[in-house]
Structure 1
């Protein structure tokens, strides 16, 4: 009995100790959040505005307080930088005498090509509006190709002597799971829409390598992206496209920075102390005094004297649709058909909103949610000016929800199209029966009561019914696009069939109307509506820092995995998505990661 009480007491003491430690940690977290929320941002004279692109680029900055907290041994937070903050900050910096120049901090650019294009265009607009210099610097092992393309707008591109420039053309690898699934005893039963030969989302489960159709479409849009990038670099650096391709064929990766100076790709190879001296020269700081800097995230919150916008009763709703449609994985909320539909409906029914801009950054997802959103977009477009702005990707379901718009604006290097539908039903029968020794049996009141089972192959009747359903779904998709874009269904089918296009390709075949970023889309909506004054309202409303804090529990797993796995996290996420897909989808054929 004495031993029993001893162990009980020890357990109670342990629980109390853990509770005290947990409470202490919570106080630290709350204190950090409060300090972050109350922090007053001041911009010193002779400052450099720092755009740190060694972060994940998102359309819209969040209010997540945990991104700014650094607690050793706690959660490794994935920091983000918002396109909205970058655009707003660059506009303000033009006439702010305290800002003497822009410092681009570059390395691996964690954003898509269209995001990079928007930032690059904002920087060009900044240069055209003032004579303040842009200084691009990479001092962290490697400057990737997207980062270099962005850097070419700078007045100076500087690399640390030991940093290499990754310049070798665009390449992409696709992972195939067929052999692994065969070994596990899992059969992926796949049905594509009629003629959807380019809808290759399902190929990793059917084949061991890319089909010719998949290879063809990949090369087409990759060449489009690469040529657009080369033309921009050529214009900025004064090197011919032909010579740039020669350099890419030689693969500049792992060459020393001094060699990049010799071939004209960069301006100088400098150590950090030399870079600091350059900053002092730009800002007018003398001696060894510290150089005042302000980040984009902080500067976006700072009011600039004489730049306050006059209040307007005319509102333009900017509605963000980012992530997979109807799919929420690893703490990512994705796009809910009901929630996004509600936001669009509210803006349509509110007379103070004169126009709507829908910002779409999505590879697609569930057909049902896509149809729900499409209906609300169509109703809104019938009552108000509605312009869609494409981000990095607006494909399949992402295009589905956009096609009723009055105008569609995209970047030349947006990934879009993928007009097609597929169904995917896994059969775990062999895995359960032969590998694990688990058998199943079923009863039903009618002939097809057990339609569809995950423990056996589909019957011919079940496959026929599902094929018919997907064919109808594809026909509906074609009809929506044809109606929205003023085309025939036959014409849409010719450019559909699940095929992925670049924004440049999409302009040629009539899937988009104009090139530009979100700001261009807003201006277009304002002009179409004939507004003399307006203000934008971003929807859905961002959660407050305290609301974001209470989301922490749902995001812990994703945060830990992202922190531990780094770039390889995407493979885990892709496989998880694949195993959880069960039903009918209008989704892009794959996740695109171009190196």
Structure 2
């Protein structure tokens, strides 16, 4: 038995109990031999045998089966290992090992382990119990403690104490043993080197050194080697080699080795895992994914959202998917299903168009299938390699039109008048409520924007489809295209039946396999530490005070100043965040809230680069928030500017008093005590007082723009006064720095932070509105921990399910009634109209 134990000691890749054991005459064997590994390297379910701290890095469920055989020594061993990561940074493991052979008592080793920590630091504890028909060996048990520290991507350090309790059972003694280990990755994740020093307590000069090499030759093929030698009286050597073949959820490893004077030891390991591993690709066939834009862009709320488990904004989620899929070498093609773009207007549509072009530039093939589309949806699809329509597709590709709804006439019939104080003839936001038609200033702005948008649409579509502008104009004159007519005009490549899709994909992406559950980040992460990050802080929807939330009527989102400011503060303090991108998709809102966000941006950029990315709209308060950034990026058709403020107050006496018989009497002790009262119109003195307030706020607004953008104040006033510009025009006037979407802004942030070109970064959303329960102990989306108490008001305010049918919601939004904050006291900085371009 002593000779066999010595052989197990010398094999370099053995479990810690084997490699570190200073053998005593009555010491039993310690378990199944593992392929080459180290206490600093192990991060799979087998970690329980080596270093229980490694269980923290296992990931979703793993099952390993190991079989060991030594023909010369007639030794057999079998092991079953289970491991998984749980919520809260907790890892757990369980294993059963059976050992039997000539001259040895048969026994079973049962182990349990837990590990707690992060990707940088893990503490683990393991418990082992031996059971056997040999009474002297039965019930022998011990405890192990492990520590793994991974401070950087290239270094891992571990310390393990085995058999802390130094158990004794009959003639068998398990001395307390120590393992100090270090792992390095000098060339990234392709090559890993490890070194372990193993010794028993009181016998430090009799320890052993074990060296491990692990190499990822290509995805799915790994090689390993181990070498061990003694430092004391035992100078014997041992060597072990291993090879691993992996598919996504299944892998097999063979390891063979031996020691001086011993026979060849064979180990076969089989892995099953719920998480995918990098797979060996035979024949070069990659993956083809289906991307349903309509589905991906819809809110995924429901009951879980109330508990704080809702996901980030669907558009930000889609953008991240597209960026990661573009960089994924496994992906060779995408089927783009286009039937709707919820929550997407022309600014974001341009970003999606560019994302598809980037995917093609990266070597991916994109096939778009049109279901029911208009010009905006076709604009996105046109960027694909091939575009197909179904025989019954609805193709409303008939040119662009702008719609503005005014309810001034309705207000007159109701007997409601409005008091307005504003600066600039283009600050026309109140005109939806006060006029029956467009003002000349509003018409001028809309005509200019529509011209820009139409020109951009024609240029992008004709370039992508390789058709003339005249062909597109001919399609527009048709009204509603049939699929056959769209093919004749070159807008689509052909008609496609569902059963023909497979053949089309085979021609477009030869050898690739359709993966319905494809995800860019569903493979096991080999890195020792997480990547540095770019923090995206969203400012989505109407700007208001307090927390980011959803409208009670199921309308637009509300960007809360408190949430945004706290997210910026946490991003600037987080050492893993290299830079910040403020994603603005807002027409503005409350002036004070916009000012607070702007000041938070200024403070954040003192510590880290801050880049602003504008989506469909960044107007008024939305622009106010963005202008403090180091750089501002916008799409060519982003609604930008609307630099101005206004104050709006209804006078309801005509409706409530004259028509409904309601009476209000007011007693005051000061001339302006009821200046904000909604019963009567302003007096001439009150109008002048409020106008002076608005003028001062406007002067402060353009002053801040001139400072932030380094522009002459008079020049800012000339392009301000409430005027809305397309993104390309805003750049010409100095309001924007560059044309591009969120991906371009992230790249700009990366460059500003001086991140090396080869370093991979993660994108993380900070400050996204989540379910109401998640906000009760802190900010929603900033700290997603479950709160200690509930706030019924928050629950009611953030009802996940819309209170009104979709059609009614649209009408409510058109007339501006989904924003009750418009009637609250305070200055407003908001885009001048609810604009729809289709």
TM-score normalised by the chain length of structure 2:
0.58
- C-alpha change, 1:488 and 1:556, in structure 2 (3 Å) is same
How far apart are 1:511 and its partner, in Å? 0.7
Contact map agreement 2:405 2:814 (CA 8 A) in 1: no
- C-alpha change, 1:233 and 1:304, in structure 2 (3 Å) is farther
- C-alpha change, 1:379 and 1:554, in structure 2 (3 Å) is closer
Q: Which residue of 2 aligns with 1:8?
A: none
**Aligned equivalents of 2:361 and 2:464: distance in 1?**
14
Contact map agreement 1:47 1:294 (CA 8 A) in 2: no
- C-alpha change, 1:285 and 1:527, in structure 2 (3 Å) is closer
- 1:570 equivalent to 2:810? Answer yes
Q: Which has the higher contact order (CA 8 A, sep 6+)?
A: 1
Using the TM superposition, name which of 378-387 and 219-228 deviates more: 378-387
Equivalent position SS for 2:559: coil
Query: What are the equivalent positions in structure 2 for 1:17-416 lying under 5 Å apart?
Result: 47-55=287-295, 57=297, 64=301, 81-92=314-325, 94-97=327-330, 99-110=331-342, 111-130=344-363, 132-139=364-371, 142-193=372-423, 196-248=424-476, 250=477, 252-279=478-505, 292-294=515-517, 299-303=519-523, 311-312=530-531, 315-326=533-544, 329=551, 330-331=553-554, 333-350=557-574, 353-416=577-640
Equivalent position SS for 2:419: strand
Q: Which residue of 1 aligns with 2:837?
A: 594
- C-alpha change, 1:211 and 1:41, in structure 2 (3 Å) is farther
RMSD after superposition: 3.4
How far apart are 1:454 and its partner, in Å? 0.7
How far apart are 1:103 and its partner, in Å? 0.9
Q: Which residue of 2 aligns with 1:492?
A: 716
How far apart are 1:579 and its partner, in Å? 5.7
Equivalent position SS for 1:163: strand
How far apart are 1:265 and its partner, in Å? 1.0
**Aligned equivalents of 1:545 and 1:370: distance in 2?**
23
How far apart are 1:109 and its partner, in Å? 2.4
- C-alpha change, 1:555 and 1:423, in structure 2 (3 Å) is same
TM-score normalised by the chain length of structure 1:
0.81
How far apart are 1:149 and its partner, in Å? 1.1
Q: Which residue of 2 aligns with 1:467?
A: 691
**Aligned equivalents of 2:378 and 2:311: distance in 1?**
23
How far apart are 1:309 and its partner, in Å? 9.2
How far apart are 1:352 and its partner, in Å? 5.3
- C-alpha change, 1:253 and 1:269, in structure 2 (3 Å) is farther
How far apart are 1:423 and its partner, in Å? 0.9
- C-alpha change, 1:552 and 1:133, in structure 2 (3 Å) is farther
How far apart are 1:66 and its partner, in Å? 5.3
**Aligned equivalents of 1:163 and 1:425: distance in 2?**
47
Unaligned runs of 5+ in 2: 1-86, 88-272, 280-284, 776-785
Displaced runs of 4+ in structure 1, greater than 6 A?
Answer: 39-46, 77-80, 283-286, 548-552
How far apart are 1:460 and its partner, in Å? 1.2
Equivalent position SS for 2:569: helix
Query: What are the equivalent positions in structure 2 for 1:453-532 lying under 5 Å apart?
Result: 453-532=677-756
Unaligned runs of 5+ in 1: 1-33, 70-76
Equivalent position SS for 1:449: coil
Q: Which residue of 2 aligns with 1:581?
A: 822
**Aligned equivalents of 2:724 and 2:384: distance in 1?**
32
How far apart are 1:242 and its partner, in Å? 3.9
Contact map agreement 1:423 1:584 (CA 8 A) in 2: yes
How far apart are 1:113 and its partner, in Å? 1.5
Contact map agreement 1:165 1:253 (CA 8 A) in 2: no
**Aligned equivalents of 1:291 and 1:126: distance in 2?**
17
How far apart are 1:362 and its partner, in Å? 0.7
**Aligned equivalents of 1:224 and 1:108: distance in 2?**
23
Equivalent position SS for 1:357: strand
How far apart are 1:272 and its partner, in Å? 2.3
**Aligned equivalents of 1:546 and 1:446: distance in 2?**
44
Equivalent position SS for 2:369: strand
- C-alpha change, 1:535 and 1:152, in structure 2 (3 Å) is closer
**Aligned equivalents of 2:539 and 2:312: distance in 1?**
20
How far apart are 1:413 and its partner, in Å? 1.7
More strand by share: 2
How far apart are 1:318 and its partner, in Å? 2.1
**Aligned equivalents of 2:610 and 2:319: distance in 1?**
24
Contact map agreement 1:109 1:144 (CA 8 A) in 2: no
- C-alpha change, 1:177 and 1:40, in structure 2 (3 Å) is farther
- C-alpha change, 1:108 and 1:579, in structure 2 (3 Å) is same
Equivalent position SS for 1:325: strand
**Aligned equivalents of 2:305 and 2:563: distance in 1?**
28
Using the TM superposition, name which of 377-386 and 396-405 deviates more: 377-386
Larger radius of gyration: 2
Contact map agreement 1:57 1:81 (CA 8 A) in 2: yes
**Aligned equivalents of 1:319 and 1:481: distance in 2?**
21
